[in-house]
């Protein structure tokens, strides 16, 4: 295979980082097991960080970002995959230390690949993408720990973001009473469409002073925000409640106390979608294709761009100006 293809390349000269579309050749890709013709990728907060000088994501330059992809196998050195197979790749080192999905072709280790689950198209797989997988894994962890719809309302923070939007839609699909938090008043109707029963402001979760224990409100929390938002959420979880923590858009510190844990029996569940074991990964993707797949998802949550429109979207996601999911058609 000697043809040229297009990719979004991030490069760095001294302190300046450039983001541009380049023509590459197959020999520019890493030497790995499986070559994939990429149909779609998606835009995640981590991808935005990869496009700026001090994002802390990219290890070496030049680099192709994109922490997920869906496409068709064109070459394979591994017996588990053959030409024509439809596949999904998310997490691991993709788009971080290994050339990612913003490229018409990608070459990855076979151990990173998930066969496209029955019930999903390639486009739908990337409408979910890393954000959808993270939301689904959060729900998986909560339910594994005993959460059920009859235990009470579930709070989703950062609800208009990628993970938040997906969590609202998925939890609603499963019959939970979802309370969505957002700082964007203009998006209340959007969240209602996704299935949110109640909407509260971002400010309501960020009081000036966070009490060690506050009024009990939530049976569970899906939190892609972190920081003070998570600290307040922990102080308001019901006795024996659960919080799945899967992001840090609101900061990495956690100004809380031990009281929610030792006086109310609250459990804090860490959600890591990057190195999630393959056995669990396959199970979660199967659930995404079936019980967690909201009706009419693509019509409500997805926006599509090409490589040429990608730099603008990467800039917007860092400013909190994107809603739902943006997928990239390669």
Domain range list for the chain: 4-116+296-329, 130-270
Task: State the average pLDDT over residues 170-175.
Answer: 96
Tokens 């939007």 found at: 165
Q: What is the mean pLDDT of the chain?
A: 93
Task: State the average pLDDT over residues 273-278.
Answer: 95
Place 291 in a pLDDT band, splitting at 50, 70 and 90: very high
CA distance 250 to 270: 16
The model's pLDDT over 74-96, given as tens digits with 9 standing for 90+, comes to 999 999 999 999 999 999 999 99
With 80 as the cut, is the pLDDT of residue 116 above it? yes
Asked if the domains at 4-116+296-329 and 130-270 fall in one CATH topology, the answer is: no
Are 193 and 165 in contact, with CB atoms under 8 Å apart? Answer: no
Are 104 and 37 in contact, with CB atoms under 8 Å apart? Answer: yes
The model's pLDDT over 174-202, given as tens digits with 9 standing for 90+, comes to 999 999 999 888 889 999 999 999 999 99
The model's pLDDT over 34-63, given as tens digits with 9 standing for 90+, comes to 999 999 999 998 899 989 888 888 888 999
The model's pLDDT over 63-78, given as tens digits with 9 standing for 90+, comes to 999 999 999 999 999 9
**CATH for 130-270, among 3.40.50.1820, 3.40.50.720, 3.40.640.10, 3.40.630.40?**
3.40.50.720
CB atoms within 10 A of CB 295: 9
The pLDDT of residue 2 is 59
- Phi and psi (nearest 5°) for 191? -70, -35
**CATH for 4-116+296-329, among 1.10.1380.10, 3.90.180.10, 3.20.20.10, 3.90.1300.10?**
3.90.180.10
pTM listed for this prediction: 0.92
């Amino acid at each position: 295979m000697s043809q040229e293809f297009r990719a979004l390349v991030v490069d760095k000269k001294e302190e300046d980082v450039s983001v541009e579309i380049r023509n590459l050749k197959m020999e520019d890709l890493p030497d790995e097991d499986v070559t994939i013709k990429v149909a779609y990728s998606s835009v995640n907060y981590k991808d935005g960080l990869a496009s700026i000088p001090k994002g802390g994501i990219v290890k070496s330059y030049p680099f192709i970002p994109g922490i997920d992809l869906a496409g068709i196998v064109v070459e394979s050195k591994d017996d588990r995959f053959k030409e024509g197979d439809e596949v999904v790749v998310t997490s691991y080192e993709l788009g971080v230390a290994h050339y990612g999905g913003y490229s018409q072709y990608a070459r990855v280790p076979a151990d990173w690949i998930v066969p496209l689950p029955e019930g999903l198209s390639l486009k739908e797989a990337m409408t979910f993408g890393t954000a959808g997988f993270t939301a689904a894994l959060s729900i998986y962890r909560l339910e594994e720990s005993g959460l059920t719809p009859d235990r009470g309302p579930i709070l989703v923070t950062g609800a208009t973001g990628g993970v938040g939007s997906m969590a609202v839609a998925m939890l609603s699909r499963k019959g939970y009473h979802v309370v969505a938090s957002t700082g964007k008043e203009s998006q209340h109707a959007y969240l209602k469409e996704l299935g949110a029963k109640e909407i509260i402001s971002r400010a309501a979760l960020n009081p000036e002073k966070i009490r060690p224990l506050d009024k009990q409100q939530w049976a569970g929390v899906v939190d892609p925000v972190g920081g003070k938002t998570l600290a307040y959420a922990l102080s308001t979880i019901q006795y024996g409640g659960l919080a799945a923590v899967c992001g840090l858009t609101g900061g990495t510190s956690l100004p809380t106390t031990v009281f929610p844990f030792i006086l109310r029996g609250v459990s804090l569940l860490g959600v890591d979608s990057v190195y999630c074991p393959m056995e669990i990964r396959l199970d979660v993707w199967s659930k995404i294709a079936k019980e967690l797949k909201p009706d009419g998802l693509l019509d409500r949550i997805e926006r599509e761009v090409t490589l040429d429109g990608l730099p603008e979207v990467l800039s917007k996601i860092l400013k909190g100006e994107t809603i739902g999911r943006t997928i990239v058609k390669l």
